[in-house]
Amino acid sequence: MKTFMPLITILFATLIATPSFAQSPAASPAIATSPMAAPGGQPNPQEMMKQMMEMSKLNENHKLLSSLDGNWNYTIKFWMNPDPNAKPQESKGTAVRKSMMGGRYFVMDVSGKMQMPGEDGKMKDVQFKGMGVEGYDNVKKKFVGSWIDNMGTGIQFSEGTYDPATKTFTYTSEMEAVPGMKTQVREVLKIADNNHMMFEWYENQGGQEKKTMEINYTRAKK
């Protein structure tokens, strides 16, 4: 599950090293990976269409994402200060998740307020809006996601896996807060139960991974 990227990182970016994070592919139903060739080495159109239709089918990974649909309240903590013992900034908001395209993709709309420094250096409330789109790519055999918000102009893309033993999604991505300053990111979403989940955001800073954001979600009562 894709959640929103840490806005504080964009505003308070520092020089960061960019090693890669390895990922193991997520399990998915057995699917053919190459179409039969017609005489002359050209792809067989009928076989290609058959395979495309097979790739478009939903599986247990899409069902897993759909289980997170609904209305959520969240509390967020983020650390602007590099000191791990520093007190984090805290705020609250809401998130709405819903299925689209017949359950192939999932949209999450996020809204809240955050304490941010103004032009005068004083902290003030800032309205935040964000939207994520997620899915499971049968071709890549990975969970995929994208994110946009009102604090930037870029689109963040990520890929991830799911561990059913721990009920944990793990995504990796690369963020470029300002030109030439790229950051490797690891996102972890742990599903506690049907009504609670926790998201953690880690950045590679100077060769060391540091947790810079934590979000706790509680499903809103009907």
Name all domains of the chain by residue range, CATH numbers in brackets.
Answer: 7-14+61-219 (2.40.128.20)
**pLDDT of the residue at 87:** 86
Contact 146, 133 (CB under 8 A): yes
Work out whether the CA dihedral 158, 187, 148, 65 comes out positive or negative.
positive
Identify the helix (H) or strand (E) that includes residue 54. helix 45-55
Could you tell me the pLDDT band of residue 118, with boundaries at 50, 70 and 90?
confident
Q: Which residue has the higher pLDDT, 58 or 16?
A: 58
Cα 65 to Cα 57: distance, rounded to the nearest angstrom? 15
pLDDT tens profile 194-210: 999 999 999 998 889 99
In sequence order, which residues have a C-beta less than 8 Å from that of residue 126 and are 6 or more positions away?
113, 114, 115, 116
Mean pLDDT is highest, among 12-16, 134-138, 174-178, 179-183, for 134-138
State residue 199's pLDDT score: 97
Contacts of 211 (CB under 8 A, 6+ apart): 79, 200, 201, 202
Q: What residue spans of 41-95 are helical by DSSP H?
A: 45-55, 60-66
Of 80, 85, 73, 62, whose CA–CA distance to 162 is shortest? 62
Percent of the chain with pLDDT over 90: 59
**Separation of alpha carbons 3 and 200, rounded Å:** 9
- Position 214 scores a pLDDT of 96
Average pLDDT, the chain: 83
Q: Which two tokens stand for residue 175?
A: 């963020």
Question: What pTM does this model have?
Answer: 0.78
Longest dimension (CA), the chain: 71
Which pLDDT score, from 0 to 100, does residue 180 have?
A: 87
Q: What is the mean pLDDT of residues 106-115?
A: 93
Instruction: Report the pLDDT value the prediction gives residue 125, as an integer from 0 to 100.
Output: 86
- Convert the pLDDT of each residue in 39-69 to its tens digit: 566 678 898 999 999 999 999 999 999 999 9
